[in-house]
């Protein structure tokens, strides 16, 4: 069986969270795959959850405890990390101290999707 490799643009979605709530990251019409989730938490170890449209967990196992005053890699569910052009990503944090989230992504399937670094995402 032959091995298949794909070339793809990589990019990060960097989100600053202002409150303990569900924050929606609007998709500008691109398919993508979230490969890693990094979270920085100021104090305590509140849970964080990353989901997509329909409530499907992207963070493996749903809510994951963060680390105190440190970055933490959150495991990604590789069966649910593909984001379609219409999906919305929701980041839910249990505490305002979880202030920074980086979603490390690649373009969707194959090499036909590219991400223009000048595009912006809307977070609500």
Position 1 in a domain = no
pLDDT (0 to 100) of residue 58? 92
Question: Cα 78 vs. chain centroid, distance in angstroms?
Answer: 12
Position 86 in a domain = yes
Closest CA to 88 of 38, 10, 8, 30: 30
- The CATH number given to whatever domain includes residue 81 is 2.60.120
pLDDT (0 to 100) of residue 20? 79
Q: pLDDT of 49-72, one tens digit each? A: 899 988 899 988 778 888 888 888
Beta strands in 1-124 (DSSP E): 10-16, 22-25, 32-41, 47-52, 56-57, 64-65, 70-74, 82-83, 89-93, 98-107
pLDDT (0 to 100) of residue 98? 67
pLDDT (0 to 100) of residue 120? 53
pLDDT (0 to 100) of residue 4? 60
Both tokens of residue 117?
Answer: 């670094």
Rounded to an integer, the average pLDDT of 85-94 is 89
Per the structure, the complete domain to which residue 98 belongs is given by 15-107
Higher pLDDT pick, 95 / 73: 73
- Whether the predicted model's global pTM rises above the 0.85 cut: no
Longest distance between any two alpha carbons in the chain, whole Å: 50
Total domains in the fold of the chain: 1
Position 54 in a domain = yes
What are residue 89's DSSP bridge partners?
A: 25, 52
Instruction: Report the distance separating Cα 3 and Cα 33, nearest Å.
Output: 20
Instruction: Report the distance separating Cα 57 and Cα 74, nearest Å.
Output: 12
Higher pLDDT pick, 116 / 81: 81
pLDDT (0 to 100) of residue 124? 56
Please provide the average confidence, as pLDDT, over all residues in the chain: 79
pLDDT (0 to 100) of residue 115? 45
């Amino acid at each position: 069986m032959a091995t298949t490799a794909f070339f793809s643009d990589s990019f990060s979605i960097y989100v600053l969270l202002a409150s303990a709530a569900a924050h929606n990251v609007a998709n500008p019409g691109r398919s993508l795959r979230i490969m890693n989730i990094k979270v920085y938490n100021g104090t305590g170890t509140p849970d964080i959850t990353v989901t997509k449209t329909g409530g499907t967990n992207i963070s493996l196992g749903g809510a994951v405890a963060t680390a105190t005053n440190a970055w933490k890699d959150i495991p990604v569910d590789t069966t649910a990390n593909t984001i379609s052009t219409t999906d919305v990503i929701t980041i839910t944090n249990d505490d305002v101290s979880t202030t920074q989230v980086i979603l490390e992504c690649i373009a969707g399937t194959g090499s036909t999707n590219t991400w223009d670094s000048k595009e912006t995402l809307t977070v609500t």
